[in-house]
Structure 1
Amino acid sequence: MVAILSREQLQASAPSVFAASPWERMSGRYRMVPTIDVVDMLGEQGFRPVRALQGRTRIPGKGDFTRHLIRFRHDDHIGPLAVGQELPELVLTNSHDGTAAYQFMAGVFRLVCSNGLTVQSADFGSISIRHSGGADFRERVIDATYQVIDQAPRSMAAIEGWKGISLTRPQQLAMASAAHEIRPNDAIKPAFLLTARRNEDYTDAEGNRDLWTTANVLQENLVQGGLRGRASTGRRVTTRPIKGVAEDIRTNRALWRLTEEMAKLA
């Protein structure tokens, strides 16, 4: 069963979610709606926070207002899950330092590796709500939420199609080369990104692997890091995990688009 984040866990992971006022350098036009208020609004609709992440800053005093990300799952998908199952998620990002509006995106969680991609299809990206306040703010939040969730069946259908597309080793290498460009690192070769971390993600006897599994192996290696390589100086290095909100979103959405394009080619 998925672990729903308590308020204490949410605050430990992303304290800026609980900011009660904007960063001191914000102008008077900024209308403050604390993220925790939106979390509560979504909770009334059955959406529970299951993961949170906060960005970093080098500016003194700005840490409690930086960009943050929360992934939500609906009550309908909170129960026990089957290994390998995928579930739709709602992804929310915001900041209270003027760098981002409220942004709602679709996400997909894969149980086998406990990772989550962010959907970025050709006809659906995200919905933004500016920090302008207003009596209809709650209505706009709920409307944006269900617009995102309405896209879930199409995303899940795409995934089922990708599971049926088998990639040869050369095709996997081509996809890994494109993924390597998303987060370039001269210390590792693109082929390193195809390293499976569990039996379920291994290739078959002929070296083939389906498109969806390939995408998730690439995603896990890019996002979680931990790959060992050698820098141009000869020094051994280990790739770092993604910890920033903006980079997390950029990488995951780029991988989704790459998988869509690979499906067309394959």
Structure 2
Amino acid sequence: MGYNFSRFTRGIAPGSRIFAADGEPLSNDMLRAAVPSIFATEAHESRSARFAPVPTVTVLDGLRAEGFEPFSAVQARTRAEGFEPFSAVQARTRVEGKAEFTKHMVRLRHRSLTNTTGDSFEIVLVNANDGTSAYQMIPGFFRFVCENGLMTGETFSEVKVRHSGNAIGEVIEGAYRVLEDAPLVAEQVASWKAITLQDGERLALAESAHILRFPKADQDGEAPAPVQPEALLRPRRSADRATDLWTAFNVVQENTLKGGLTGRVRNAEGRLQRRTTREVAGIDQNRSLNRALWLLTQRMAELKSA
């Protein structure tokens, strides 16, 4: 599953994300049309002289020379004139003129790592030249059957590079450090595929994910969640009816992040109303949920193997 980075249809301003078609990597022209903040070569005027911008396009060109290719990208929404943001949790710029410098995310795969099992290791890049983010590289995994991107938990390498000094060289070096974890991530995925879950265990996974996604639901004065935990277990395709841990994780992750699930809740007058879950479109919230779900699944695997 996974750069569900997935991470991004509903509530995203037009031209703010792009996915590769037919398995072909994205060119700079394609990226420029959809995610212009990748091409910022200077820092936003609000930054001090000590702030060293890290042009993402320069890093991408360097990574391409090393065999990495971009396959999806998204940038945070901006508070455009006359436009009300879709949700308070979405990443967005808050300062006028930051649209060309705002936070963005790019998912890359190394040419040697796209395999025949329907999964591929990825490197997830996050950057911003408006002061809202250091350069970050996180291990990821892409599951082709559902065209969704995962991010691993904190047990694998994560690289952060500050906007100072030789940042570009450090970023490219960091990408290789993250790439070194590819065999370990693949090994963990294989182990999850070998673990069978009972119905109660799958429900426990969904209940935990439900709390992560709707932490304030049912608290005093808060609206109930649009759906119950069981809804997160609904497979979206026949291939996802398997009972192994890897499949269960992917189903829960996709339903948690992509949204589109419909349920019924009682309003203040006690009447039932239909509600639909929204996609987690904000870069930061998507990343946090993605990694928390990976860690949750890792703990489930440890309990099953004990």
CA distance in 1 between counterparts of 2:33 and 2:153 reads 29
Pairing 1:114–2:147 present:
yes
Specify whether residues 201 and 48 from structure 1 end up closer, same or farther in structure 2 by C-alpha distance, changes over 3 A only.
same
Secondary structure at the counterpart of residue 116 of structure 1: strand
How far the C-alpha of 1:248 sits from its partner, in A, is: 1.7
Pairing 1:51–2:61 present:
no
Per the alignment, residue 110 of structure 2 pairs with 74
Per the alignment, residue 29 of structure 1 pairs with 50
Aligned pairs, how many?
A: 255
| Aligned Cα root-mean-square deviation (Å) | 1.6
Per the alignment, residue 191 of structure 1 pairs with 230
Pairing 1:158–2:191 present:
no
CA distance in 2 between counterparts of 1:244 and 1:9 reads 22
Give the conservation status (yes or no) of the 8 Å contact 1:14–1:52. Answer: yes
More helix by share: 1
* Structure 2 residue runs without a partner (length 5+): 1-21, 80-93, 218-224
1:63 to 77, 92, 99: 99
Secondary structure at the counterpart of residue 54 of structure 2: coil
For normalisation by structure 2, the TM-score amounts to 0.79
Pairing 1:170–2:200 present:
yes
The AA in structure 2 aligned to 1:161 is S
Of 229-238 and 97-106, more deviation after overlay is shown by: 229-238
1:255 to 274, 290, 293: 293
CA distance in 1 between counterparts of 2:232 and 2:238 reads 16
CA distance in 2 between counterparts of 1:86 and 1:253 reads 18
How far the C-alpha of 1:44 sits from its partner, in A, is: 1.0
* Structure 1 residue runs without a partner (length 5+): 204-208
CA distance in 2 between counterparts of 1:130 and 1:140 reads 9
Q: Which runs of 4+ in 1 moved over 6 A?
A: none
Specify whether residues 28 and 121 from structure 1 end up closer, same or farther in structure 2 by C-alpha distance, changes over 3 A only.
closer
CA distance in 2 between counterparts of 1:53 and 1:244 reads 10
Pairing 1:104–2:143 present:
no
Secondary structure at the counterpart of residue 112 of structure 1: coil
1:211 to 242, 245, 249: 245
How far the C-alpha of 1:199 sits from its partner, in A, is: 0.5
Pairing 1:10–2:31 present:
yes
CA distance in 2 between counterparts of 1:30 and 1:63 reads 18
Give the conservation status (yes or no) of the 8 Å contact 1:177–1:190. Answer: yes
Give the conservation status (yes or no) of the 8 Å contact 1:23–1:65. Answer: yes
Pairing 1:93–2:123 present:
no
1:144 to 174, 195, 198: 174
Give the conservation status (yes or no) of the 8 Å contact 1:42–1:142. Answer: yes
Per the alignment, residue 132 of structure 1 pairs with 164
Secondary structure at the counterpart of residue 223 of structure 1: helix
Structure possessing the higher relative contact order (Cα contacts under 8 Å, 6 or more residues apart): 2
Secondary structure at the counterpart of residue 235 of structure 1: strand
How far the C-alpha of 1:3 sits from its partner, in A, is: 2.3
Specify whether residues 236 and 86 from structure 1 end up closer, same or farther in structure 2 by C-alpha distance, changes over 3 A only.
same
Q: Percent identity?
A: 42
The AA in structure 2 aligned to 1:142 is I
Secondary structure at the counterpart of residue 64 of structure 1: coil
Secondary structure at the counterpart of residue 167 of structure 1: coil
CA distance in 2 between counterparts of 1:40 and 1:210 reads 39
How far the C-alpha of 1:86 sits from its partner, in A, is: 1.4
Secondary structure at the counterpart of residue 100 of structure 2: helix
CA distance in 2 between counterparts of 1:252 and 1:217 reads 13
For normalisation by structure 1, the TM-score amounts to 0.91
Specify whether residues 23 and 73 from structure 1 end up closer, same or farther in structure 2 by C-alpha distance, changes over 3 A only.
same
Give the conservation status (yes or no) of the 8 Å contact 1:33–1:133. Answer: no
Specify whether residues 61 and 200 from structure 1 end up closer, same or farther in structure 2 by C-alpha distance, changes over 3 A only.
same
* Residue-by-residue CA offset, 1:41-82 (whole Å, 9 max, x unaligned): 11111101001011124333222211111000112245xx64
How far the C-alpha of 1:125 sits from its partner, in A, is: 4.4
CA distance in 2 between counterparts of 1:138 and 1:93 reads 13
How far the C-alpha of 1:244 sits from its partner, in A, is: 1.5
